[in-house]
């Protein structure tokens, strides 16, 4: 199976396992003007891969015969290139959330629904494939905590040195689009219900001179049968912290409580042995190759785009 990669501004690293195993061939790579291709080329080099470089994504999509487009360029352009690849019948693995705002999301939906050959479309929500999240989902589905009543989640990142496009809302999309969306995704996945209400606040105060880049946010949501969910996201994790991110989730059931923190899972305060992690890109390839039911699909992409749009009052 052949793939092309557009951009070096996202989670192309999710493809590493399948590239290493030889299950996908990288037929070409390209970036937009001003985007550094070096990190992407170095990533492939570590995997022993040398891919053809194209002068533009447009040229690559036109000339390169591929089954999958891996799209993770500047955030406001991901929808455009994803739609273009879908129009050529390629399946698309796109940086989350996949579209910035309701207008982009509707354009992407139209491109997906009219695409020839019924290609797949999935966003790069890889965090819920990590072992604590996979294990928590299994326990929830087994009924181990009873009926979910409350989910509280946290995303915290180091600000670090961010590309210039983070400084502008129209190219970055906001902290809810880029950071909180992960927690919106795993919350919906745990709950198995759709968002019925979304309220939010976000602030760019104390963003260390990064234009209008938001650095703190909080959301209050309801899902399904009156499940309450809260999400906080920030980019103020101290630079000397051991890990770049601090992901947490507390799932309150009618009978028991699960907590994810520090890469571990706790059941009523006691640690739980973890299931093996999943692989979002491997799941996508399996679906393409043998029709296996996808774990990540277009429905979840559009559901989270909708939740983010509602958070921003669209």
pLDDT of residue 232: 98
Spatial distance between the Cα atoms of 230 and 241, rounded to a whole number of angstroms: 24
Mean pLDDT of 187-216: 96
Q: pTM (2 decimals)?
A: 0.96
**pLDDT tens-digit map of 266-277:** 999 999 999 999
Question: Do residues 188 and 103 share a domain?
Answer: no
Assigned domain for 305 exists: no
pLDDT of residue 60: 98
**For residue 223, is pLDDT > 90?**
yes
**pLDDT tens-digit map of 25-67:** 999 999 999 999 999 999 999 999 999 999 999 999 999 999 9
Question: Do residues 144 and 157 share a domain?
Answer: yes
**For residue 294, is pLDDT > 90?**
no
Assigned domain for 192 exists: yes
Question: Do residues 247 and 290 share a domain?
Answer: no
Question: Do residues 138 and 251 share a domain?
Answer: yes
Assigned domain for 313 exists: no
Confidence of residue 292 (pLDDT cuts 50, 70, 90): confident
Assigned domain for 302 exists: no
Confidence of residue 293 (pLDDT cuts 50, 70, 90): confident
Confidence of residue 92 (pLDDT cuts 50, 70, 90): very high
pLDDT of residue 278: 96
**For residue 262, is pLDDT > 90?**
yes
Based on the structure, what is the number of domains in the chain? 2
Could you tell me the residue range of the domain that residue 20 belongs to? 2-126+281-295
**For residue 184, is pLDDT > 90?**
yes
Q: What one-character-per-residue DSSP string does the chain give?
A: -EEEEE-SSS-GGGGHHHHHTTS-EEEEEE--TT---HHHHHHHHHTT----B-S-HHHHHHH---SEEEE-SSGGGHHHHHHHHHHTT-EEEE-TTSSSHHHHHHHHHHHHHT-TT---EEE---GGGSHHHHHHHHHHHTTTT-SEEEEEEEEEE---S--GGGGSHHHH--HIIIIIHHHHHHHHHHH-S-EEEEEEEEE-TT-TT-TT---EEEEEEEETTTEEEEEEEES---TTSSSSEEEEEEEEESS-EEEEETTEEEETTEE-PPPPP--HHHHHHHHHHH-PPPSS-HHHHHHHHHHHHHHTT-
Q: The domain that contains 10 carries what CATH number? A: 3.40.50.720
pLDDT of residue 295: 83
Assigned domain for 21 exists: yes
Question: Do residues 151 and 86 share a domain?
Answer: no
Assigned domain for 309 exists: no
Confidence of residue 164 (pLDDT cuts 50, 70, 90): very high
């Amino acid at each position: 199976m052949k793939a092309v990669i557009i951009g070096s501004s996202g989670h192309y690293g999710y493809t590493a396992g399948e590239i290493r195993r030889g299950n996908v061939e990288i037929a070409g790579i390209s970036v937009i003007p001003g985007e550094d291709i070096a990190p992407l080329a170095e990533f492939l080099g570590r995997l022993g891969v040398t891919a053809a470089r194209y002068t533009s994504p447009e040229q690559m999509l036109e000339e390169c015969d591929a089954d999958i487009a891996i799209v993770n360029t500047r955030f406001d352009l991901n929808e455009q290139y994803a739609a273009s690849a879908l129009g050529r019948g390629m399946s698309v693995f796109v940086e989350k959330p996949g579209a910035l705002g309701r207008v982009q999301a509707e354009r992407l939906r139209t491109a997906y629904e009219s695409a020839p050959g019924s290609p797949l479309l999935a966003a790069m929500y890889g965090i819920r494939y990590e072992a604590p999240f996979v294990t928590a989902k299994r326990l929830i589905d087994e009924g181990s905590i009873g009926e979910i009543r409350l989910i509280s989640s946290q995303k915290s990142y180091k600000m670090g040195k961010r590309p210039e496009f983070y400084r502008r809302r129209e190219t970055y999309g906001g902290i809810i689009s880029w950071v909180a969306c992960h927690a919106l995704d795993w919350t919906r996945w745990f709950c198995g219900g759709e968002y019925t209400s979304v309220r939010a606040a976000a602030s760019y105060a104390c963003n260390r001179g990064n234009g209008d880049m938001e650095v703190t946010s909080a959301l209050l949501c309801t899902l399904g049968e009156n499940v309450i969910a809260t999400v906080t996201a920030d980019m103020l994790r101290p630079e000397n912290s051991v890990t770049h991110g601090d992901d947490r989730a507390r799932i309150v059931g009618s009978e028991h409580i699960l907590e994810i923190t520090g890469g571990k899972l706790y059941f009523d305060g006691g640690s739980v042995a973890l299931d093996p992690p999943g692989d979002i890109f491997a799941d996508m390839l399996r679906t393409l190759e043998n029709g296996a039911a996808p774990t990540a699909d277009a429905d979840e992409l559009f559901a989270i785009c909708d939740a983010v749009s509602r958070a921003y009052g669209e």
